[in-house]
Amino acid sequence: MTRSTPFWHWDYTGSMTILLSLIIVSVIIGLLSLVMLADRGRRNSLLRQAADQLGLKFRPYASLSQPVRQAQFHLIECGQFRHFRYLLEGEFQQRPVNIFDYSLVNQQGASTQTVVLLHCPLDGKANWRLQCWQKHWLRGDALTDQQPLTLTPLSPHQKPAGLRKWHIASSEVGLVQPYLAILEQWCLAHPHLHIEYAAGMLMLYRPQYELAAEHLEQALQAGCELCQRLATPQAA
């Protein structure tokens, strides 16, 4: 007579397979977490050293200042976080600067990018706003605290030939014309960077890219050069 298997019989083979799979997945997650933590610790150390070399102050964590929040940069307004990591602040070439890693979370996903923010006052343009980038990356969604400001885009015939397919928008389109030659030359030399200008501050960043510590000085030099050229468009 064939013995039937009780309904309460435990399938050890299947259970062991599931258990081993869970263990393997847990080990992989644990190892990845350790690697990420080690990498973050290393980045913290490297950026701290870079700050010392550049004569800048370093803070591992910081929150957005009131002037930066009030400037309503598109990058900041599309995210949920108001805090960031690895702030380097001070003066570079006698210009106030900030560098930080800003993590962005919205319905399009999560990303971290290094932001270079420079003091860049332009005569008579305290309230002027500008956006310039090659590929549209962010837009407001249901997770955004408040919808980003909508600027007026330049039409294709208003743009220089090299930036005809780029996104260039401003709060006052008529004020952009003197800067187009500068933007064309600079953007074509740095096609992956996004440029925002608001409240006398120039923001530069490459989406989803963390700038290596050894490249910070070069990024600051390029940013300061752009600020100088924007301040004297007639000399370009």
> Which of 66, 73, 150, 60 shows the shortest CA–CA distance to 104?
73
Token readout for 164 is 């005809």
Over range 86-112, report the average pLDDT: 90
Residue of higher predicted confidence among 49 and 26: 49
Q: Which of 118-132, 141-155, 181-195 has the lowest mean pLDDT?
A: 141-155
In this prediction, residue 77 carries a pLDDT of 85
How do the domains of the chain map onto residue ranges?
A: 58-235
Over range 105-128, report the average pLDDT: 88
Indicate whether 152 pLDDT > 50.
yes
Are 154 and 173 a contacting pair, CB within 8 Å?
A: yes
How far apart CA 98 and CA 125 sit, in angstroms, is 21
Find the distance separating the first CA and the last CA of the chain, reported in whole Å: 98
- Note the pLDDT tens digit of each residue in 30-83: 444 443 444 468 999 999 999 999 999 999 999 988 999 899 999 988 876 667
How far apart CA 44 and CA 38 sit, in angstroms, is 10
Where does the pLDDT of residue 17 fall: very low under 50, low under 70, confident under 90, or very high at 90 and above?
Answer: low
Estimate to the nearest angstrom the gap between the alpha carbon of 223 and the chain centroid.
15
Residue of higher predicted confidence among 142 and 170: 170
In this prediction, residue 161 carries a pLDDT of 96
pLDDT above 70: percentage of residues in the chain: 75
What pTM was computed for the model? 0.80
Indicate whether 14 pLDDT > 70.
no
